[in-house]
Amino acid sequence: MRALVIDESADFSVAVRDVTPRALDAADVLVRVEYSGVNFKDALVAQAKSRVRRQPVLVGGVDAAGLVVESSHDELPVGTRVAVHGGVIGVARDGGFAEFLYAPLANVSPLPDSIATRDAMVIGTAGFTAMQSVLALEDHGIEAGARVLVTGATGGVGSQSLTYLAARGYDPVASTGSLDEAAWLRARGAVEVIGRHDVADKPDRVMASEAWDGAIDCVGGDTLHQILRSLRYGAAVAASGLVASAELVTNVYPFITRGVALLGVDSVEVGAPTRTRVWRALGAVAPTINYEELIDHTTSLDTLFEAIESVRAGRHRGRVLVDLRAD
């Protein structure tokens, strides 16, 4: 089969090669991949001396969607339409930038009837994380009608956070470094679009004005600090990312004077109950969503490396889809 192979066994290279799919366990499920998507994490994996990749030679791709073609599991029969993501897929074992993929049962989710395999990869890990973030805020008691800040709004997690918040009745506010995309962000459901550095006021005070009923942040660093100091009393931020920085320098005042909460969101190690809950929630909103509008562009294996570079450079909005269907 053809696959995008990252090889650092000697000199670093990323190239399309003919390889044989590898099962690591007899219980692995074989999926014929139809679509994948490019995540920020894929750009981190596909670079020399990557601190994220854990194999010198690896088929990239943390996401895949397609059909089960071999399975020893009664709950996942041949022909099931699935999404594959999480665990060490595309990081420490071969991933979805290939025509076939062996995956452990824990990383394979049957798709709701309302989500086609193509749409599942417009969603991808980014959209899964976005819906997981929305559910985390709801579990905290944040209700429809709330004004929820979304940072990194033109990105994969950000744009789908806007989409799902709007679909569930919230008033999302988009924070972006790409203000020229304001019309696109409003079309995703943003009731307001603000600049990347306009998350909080009163820079000379410990606490900023209470601006947000909730927030979804994939940026980290100082942005997360600014969110914490500008959340309303009892509000929460769901934090999943670090595109700006993994460092968080803040203080305890938001927690002890406004009772705010910092909710960690991890899509990688979550167990079956959460995966099922999130895909069910995605399935429920799917009929209201125009997935085509969330696609920046579609690539094949042959142009995938350029697409990964465009995601690394932040030259995209929404999602980059990978079409792996055999010609």
Ligand X SMILES: NC(=O)c1ccc[n+]([C@@H]2O[C@H](COP(=O)([O-])OP(=O)(O)OC[C@H]3O[C@@H](n4cnc5c(N)ncnc54)[C@H](OP(=O)(O)O)[C@@H]3O)[C@@H](O)[C@H]2O)c1
Two structure tokens written together for 254: 């938001």
Residue type at 67? L
What does DSSP assign to residue 108? Answer: E
Of residues 157 and 235, the one with the C-beta less far from ligand X: 157
Residue 230 binds ligand X (CB under 6 A): no
Size of the site for ligand X (CB under 6 A): 30
- Cα–Cα dist 261/134, whole Å: 14
Residue 126 binds ligand X (CB under 6 A): yes
Give the residue nearest to ligand X (CB): 155
Closest among 8, 51, 62 to 320, alpha carbons compared: 62
Residue 156 binds ligand X (CB under 6 A): yes
Closest among 189, 216, 204, 29 to 133, alpha carbons compared: 216
Q: For 157-197, what is the HEC assignment?
A: HHHHHHHHHHHCCCEEEEEECCHHHHHHHHHCCCCEEEECC
Of 32, 41, 93, 118, the residue at the interface with ligand X (CB under 6 A) is 41
Of 241, 275, 295, 301, the residue at the interface with ligand X (CB under 6 A) is 241
Of 14, 82, 122, 265, the residue at the interface with ligand X (CB under 6 A) is 265
User: Residues 199 to 218: which contact ligand X by CB under 6 A?
Assistant: 218
- Cα–Cα dist 215/229, whole Å: 12
Of residues 68 and 261, the one with the C-beta less far from ligand X: 261
Q: Closest distance between ligand X and the C-beta of residue 177, in Å? A: 4
User: Residues 82 to 101: which contact ligand X by CB under 6 A?
Assistant: none
Region of residue 131 (phi > 0: left; psi between -120 and 50: alpha; otherwise: beta): alpha
Residue 154 binds ligand X (CB under 6 A): yes
Report the 10 Å Cβ neighbour count for 88. 18
What does DSSP assign to residue 89? Answer: B
Residue 279 binds ligand X (CB under 6 A): no
Of residues 80 and 176, the one with the C-beta less far from ligand X: 176
Residue 32 binds ligand X (CB under 6 A): no
Q: Are 237 and 254 in contact (CB under 8 A)?
A: no
Of residues 62 and 68, the one with the C-beta less far from ligand X: 62
Residue 184 binds ligand X (CB under 6 A): no
Of 110, 112, 283, 314, the residue at the interface with ligand X (CB under 6 A) is 314
Q: Closest distance between ligand X and the C-beta of residue 67, in Å? A: 24
Q: Identify any residues that bridge with 173 across adjacent strands, giving them in sequence order.
A: 149, 192
Residues lying near ligand X in the complex (CB under 6 A): 39-41, 125-126, 129, 152-158, 176-178, 196, 218-219, 240-244, 265-268, 311, 314
